[in-house]
Structure 1
Amino acid sequence: MAILHKATLSPTKLELIAGYLPKQPWFIQDGTPELVGAYRFDDPAGEVGLETHVVAAGDRIYQIPLSYRGYELAGAEEWLVGTMEHSVLGKRWVYDACADPVYVKALATAILTGQEQAEQFVDNNGTLEPRPSTVSVKGSGTLDGGVPTVSASAPVSGSGVTVIDAGGLRLKIARVVDVPAELSSASVAAPELHHELTLQGRWEGLEGPVELAAVVRN
């Protein structure tokens, strides 16, 4: 369960993403990013916010996982997207979540166990009000327990996919999302993951689910 606050953010998440995207090797410099939707995973410790944004820029759809922390993540300076001021929580350090071990563990768990996105609630003066997710996801695995220990290495990006070697697992996160033709007329095809266990996602206007991430055993 993700607890959200009614707050003002400076800069906004989309402003941070707009500054981050042009620096990425998988981004085609075409159009201003617009938010399509987002989904969250839970941090069991309740310390790190894990939110993945789906954005459109030009005729392509991109997936941007972010992690929000109240302190700097040691050794992750290269993947710092920026900092923001949160009117309730104070200063937040925002990272490319592919370099955040909390996100890597959450993603692997969701895929392997068939988990869905976290339920979201807004804290309104002590009353928790449900907020629907604008992107729904579900892992294809059926593991009841015993998720392998994850010890994530630095993410490697290229050709529209970020790869993370995480101990006995290899995670692949689609950065350029392979959407149906009616939603994307890109001349360069988005990468297809096609692995046994995947994270499938859908959002408003999408006729069928798309692959957002995959996991294979090393």
Structure 2
Amino acid sequence: MALLHRADVRPSKLDLIAAWLPGRPWFAGTPGAEVTRVAAYRFDDPAGEVGIETILVRAGDGPVLQVPLTYRAGPLAGAERWLVGNTEHSVLGRRWVYDACGDPVYAPALAAAVLADAGQAEEYFEVDGRREVRAPSMTLAGTRTANPPALGTVDEVVDGEPTLIRAGGVELALVRRPVPAEAPAPARLTGAWAGQADPVLLAYAR
């Protein structure tokens, strides 16, 4: 479960993404155009230390782009190339925001969603001592693979379309421009949201 805070975040997530996106090799859209949120989903960090959120956005009238982010209370050693930026959170303080593909907590979470249909984290607020659940903005569907392989240490990340995360004998592919499409491998993750009735391909594994 993901505990949310009603807080001010400066700069906002979308402002950070807007400044960072045009430099990505998979970017599509109008540089400098307003970046708008389409939908989002979260995964759980088993240790409860790192926020893992994937935001689907558009830059101007460009295609939908998939941006997974991790939120940390301090810098991640050796991950400078994956840093999106810093924010000041009115409840949690200074946060380091990374492209999740380069964060070691992300690969196991993505693998669980793709290979074991683990789904997304339930989001909730604490209101007067009780939980107030926020309805998800999209639905996810993974693949229930018999005896899914254990994911080892990430060996390599190749940023592109798709972005490839290689760990042991598993290769995870995160689709940066998700559209309705057949996956090139049986194990896959798809999603849909209001206005997008046909599920889009988000990720796959081989």
TM-score (norm. length: structure 2): 0.92
Letter in 2 for 1:59: G
Matches within 5 A, 1:85-164: 85-143=88-146, 147-158=149-160, 160-164=161-165
Letter in 1 for 2:114: I
Q: Determine the C-alpha separation between the residues in 2 that align with 1:120 and 1:141.
A: 23
Q: Deviations over 1:165-211 (max 9, x none)?
A: 111210000011125xxxxxxxxxxx864211001111110122111
Q: Determine the C-alpha separation between the residues in 2 that align with 1:14 and 1:124.
A: 26
Q: Secondary structure at the match of 2:185?
A: coil
Letter in 2 for 1:41: F
Letter in 2 for 1:94: V
* Percent identity of paired positions between Structure 1 and Structure 2: 47
Q: Deviations over 1:53-79 (max 9, x none)?
A: 001222311000000011111100110
Q: Determine the C-alpha separation between the residues in 2 that align with 1:167 and 1:48.
A: 23
CA contact (8 A) 2:71 2:95 kept: yes
Q: Determine the C-alpha separation between the residues in 1 that align with 2:73 and 2:189.
A: 28
Q: Secondary structure at the match of 2:7?
A: coil
Offset at residue 147 of structure 1 (A):
4.5
Offset at residue 122 of structure 1 (A):
1.1
Offset at residue 142 of structure 1 (A):
3.7
> 2:13 maps to what in 1?
13
> 2:28 maps to what in 1?
28
Q: Determine the C-alpha separation between the residues in 1 that align with 2:202 and 2:20.
A: 20
Q: Which runs of 5+ in 2 are unaligned?
A: none
Letter in 2 for 1:206: Q
Q: Determine the C-alpha separation between the residues in 1 that align with 2:80 and 2:163.
A: 18
- Aligned residue-pair number: 203
Q: Secondary structure at the match of 1:207?
A: strand
Q: Deviations over 1:5-59 (max 9, x none)?
A: 1111011010011011011011124243210010000001100000000012223
The answer to whether 1:77 aligns with 2:80 is: yes
Offset at residue 154 of structure 1 (A):
3.8
Q: Secondary structure at the match of 2:174?
A: strand
Q: Deviations over 1:101-144 (max 9, x none)?
A: 1111100011111111111101234322100111221211244x
Q: Secondary structure at the match of 1:78?
A: helix
CA contact (8 A) 2:29 2:63 kept: no
Q: Secondary structure at the match of 1:214?
A: strand
- Cα RMSD, aligned residues only: 1.6
Change (3 A) 1:25 1:9: same
Change (3 A) 1:125 1:76: farther
> 2:198 maps to what in 1?
208
> 1:176 maps to what in 2?
177
Q: Determine the C-alpha separation between the residues in 1 that align with 2:145 and 2:205.
A: 13
Q: Which runs of 5+ in 1 are unaligned?
A: 180-190
CA contact (8 A) 2:116 2:148 kept: no
> 1:182 maps to what in 2?
none
CA contact (8 A) 1:79 1:99 kept: yes
